[in-house]
Amino acid sequence: MCVGKFLLIILLFSSTAFGQCTNPIRVGVNSEWPPYISIENDHISGLDMAIITLLLESMGRCFDYVRLPSAGRSMNELRAGRIDLLSGVSFAAYRQDIGQFSAPYRQEIVRLVVSERVQASALADLQAMLQSGLTLVYTPGAYYGEEVETLVQQSRYQQQIQTVSEPVKRYLMLKAGRADVTIEDEQVAKHLLSEYGGAQLVLHPKVVSAQPIHFLISHQLSNTGFMRELNQAIEAQQQAITALLQNQLGAAHP
């Protein structure tokens, strides 16, 4: 690995004491994404991190977190085999070239977050919002289904669209009036509205997508039998995973 790449990859946390783990699973982490991923003073926590710990420790595996600058960079590092596992990944056919999908371990509902002014305009969906000239900020490299993918690739909307990795920054852009709409996991949106105050921002009733969420495993690691072990662990630990999610997100979570 060249020096430039090395400086962008910062080892933050290991599941075992230094020197006790000879072959850790390298778990890629990019931006903070509460309540699933939280980063504070180089300490990584959150629901996805708790689920990873539960599963890998039940498999007798140790692991390291590897910090990366963006979701796109994480995918590139996984494709190259420089990290082994990414969490919170929805299925898209093109991603099968990057890695292999595990069995699903939780569900995700994706919604639009808009200003009260946009909500009052009664625009039905993202297409209507873009057609009316509103601006969108969303996660680079994210996949929210074919409908959104088709919209964000249209040349006529490019001047209205920005990409920003960190959900907190996207939220604050809306709050400051520097963008009109963002696309967010429902639980992340609720966390941001609660944490940073959402008097002028609301969840739009339109559900953009509802889909299972997987781990994405490098092809190099998948070929060692790790995927079979992981899927068995997901099945065996499903009750514990559900309890973790319900404890944090409420009984309504599947």
Report yes or no: 164 and 155 within 8 Å, Cβ to Cβ: no
Report yes or no: 216 and 100 within 8 Å, Cβ to Cβ: yes
What's the pLDDT score for residue 31? 80
Domain boundaries of the chain, sorted by first residue: 3-107+212-249, 108-210
pLDDT over 60 (residue 16): no
Tell me which DSSP letter residue 82 carries: S
Average pLDDT, the chain: 87
Same topology for domains 3-107+212-249 and 108-210, yes or no?
Answer: yes
- Render pLDDT for 37-95 as a digit per residue (tens, 0 to 9): 998 887 899 999 999 999 999 999 999 999 998 888 999 999 999 999 999 999 999 99
pLDDT over 70 (residue 20): no
Q: What percent of the chain stands above pLDDT 90? A: 67
What's the pLDDT score for residue 19? 47
- Render pLDDT for 169-219 as a digit per residue (tens, 0 to 9): 999 999 999 999 999 999 999 998 888 876 689 999 989 999 999 999 999
Amino acid (one-letter) located at 110: V
What is the three-class DSSP state of 227?
A: helix
3-107+212-249 CATH: 3.40.190.10
Q: At a CB cut-off of 8 Å and minimum separation 6, what does 144 contact? A: 90, 110, 138, 183, 208, 209
Cα separation, 117 vs 135, whole angstroms:
13
What's the pLDDT score for residue 123? 92
Cα separation, 110 vs 145, whole angstroms:
10
To the question of domain 108-210 being in CATH 3.40.190.10, the answer is yes
Average pLDDT, integer, range 102-117: 93
Beta strands in the chain (DSSP E): 10-14, 25-29, 38-40, 43-45, 63-67, 85-90, 99-101, 106-115, 136-138, 161-163, 181-185, 201-218
Q: At a CB cut-off of 8 Å and minimum separation 6, what does 92 contact? A: 143
pLDDT over 90 (residue 10): no
